[in-house]
Chains A and B, each alone.
Chain A
Amino acid sequence: MEVGIVSYGTYFPGLGITRSEYQKALGNCGANFSEKTVADFDEDSLTMGIAAARDALFEGINPEEISFLTWASTSPPYSEKLLSGSIAEMLGLKKNLFSAEYGQSTRAGGEAFLTAVSLVKGGFGQKALVIVADAPRANVKDPIEHGLAAGSAAFILGTENPLAVVDNFVALVQENLGERFRKAGSGEIKDIGVKTFTGEAYQKLIAKAVTELLEKENLKPADYNYAVFHEIESRLPLKAGKKLGFTDEQMLPGLLYENTGDTGAASPFLSLAAVLDRAKPGEKVIVTTYGSGAGVIAFSLTVKKPANRVPVREKLASGKKYLNFIQYLRVKRYL
């Protein structure tokens, strides 16, 4: 049975800040974006996730048909409290649904997505809703904070008339110390600040997963039309992709960091949405999700029909309110 994406939705907050605001205020900026998204004072990963899910549940999809709900975020509004009941009530889903909530790393979205694929594939229900939403935080004095942004994506998975079907996947884990982490009880991510060390871990693990996926599928990089490499920062994804033999043409459509910053777990799924916005039937997509510590889930899809959604890039370009640095500190409750 072919399981695929029957609908998807995306959301970015209406606030933004430019890199030059950081430079003006701090003299430098530790992240390489031109502007990034900022969640408003009254927003969190849950409200953003609901916005994306409502976008995905557009006319024609009955929320009552959803049997599975998977949620992913490294920044849930509560460290402990089930969110599925809130989500079901906020969206009008039926209450007898299986749900799973992930968030141990930015790979959480890959975990939520593949869990949902498996459940639908298993024939235990008709449709699944996957919500990936993130707005990670760090100490504002730590350069790791500078890239952190906010966004969300949601996917309805099913077997009838999908936009894109999931072909295969590879998942890998390995011990990796000191890369992006958040101790229990802390709301702020940090790392040991050794970029070359963590950058290498990312590149190696992603390369291994993609190579295995290509072998499994008996395909070459050139057989794919689009490749999404999880944008944990600005330069690594392109570097990792190039090393594997992917071209700018395959990768640029999925690169959003320049205009979003680091959207955490949501990043590869916003990129996937940006690719689906323009993909044509028959085209193939490879997606990698990365979690520090570390693990990769890579999966591949074949596009079945055009999407006809408001494109991610159009949403990013539309009327944002830009904050100055003081306003940014206040909206993030750093002040």
Chain B
Amino acid sequence: MGAHISIPMYQRAVKQRYRLVGLKCSNCGQIIFPPKAGCKSCGALDNFTEVQLSGRGKIYSYTVIAGAGAPPEFSEEAAYRGAYPVVLVELEEGPRIIAQLTEPVPAEIKIGMPVEMVLRQIYTEEDVIRYGYKFKVLEGEK
């Protein structure tokens, strides 16, 4: 977040941004998300296969970003929301990823709350809408 990402770069990663496609290391079974050049678990540099992650996970930790602290491409949304929560989600396949939480945000965010991936507009730059994943707290947990 925060750095300018060119459209070609964004487009190369749409599979992971739109629906959480990760990699599985054929050597040790580690699930890697976002996809990287090597396996941090066993050091393997090849033999990865694509896997569709479930999109389910738990809140591992969270922080609240004040409107003024938001990167420029998020400024319009930050101005609307004021402060908004960003969570570190531990996906059920293991990887941890940072994402925004969508409304309705529970009055009290708790570590361990089950969440599910949703597709949202992340920001718009050059008039091009960048879609990607956010997370919602699952029903009954609010």
Contact = CB atoms under 8 A, between A and B. Distances in A.
Contact of A42 (B15, B105, B134, B142): B134
B78 to A, nearest CB: 10
B56 interface: no
A78 B80 CA distance: 22
- Please list the 6 inter-chain residue pairs (A to B) with the smallest Cβ-Cβ separation, ordered nearest first: A321-B104, A42-B120, A42-B121, A90-B18, A14-B104, A14-B103
Interface of B: 14-15, 18-19, 21, 52, 77, 80-81, 102-105, 118-122, 129, 131, 134, 136, 139, 142
Interface string A16-59: 00000000000000000000000011111011001100000000
Contacts of A47: 118-121, 131
Contacts of A91: 19
B131 A92 contact: no
A184 B130 CA distance: 25
Interface in A98-149: none
Contacts of B119: 47, 50-51, 90
B21 to A, nearest CB: 8
B120 A43 contact: yes
Nearest to A92: B19
27 contacts: A14-B102, A14-B103, A14-B136, A40-B102, A40-B103, A40-B120, A41-B77, A42-B77, A42-B120, A42-B122, A43-B121, A47-B118, A47-B119, A47-B131, A50-B119, A77-B129, A78-B129, A86-B18, A89-B14, A89-B15, A90-B119, A92-B19, A319-B104, A319-B139, A320-B104, A321-B105, A330-B80
Contact of B131 (A40, A86, A331): A86
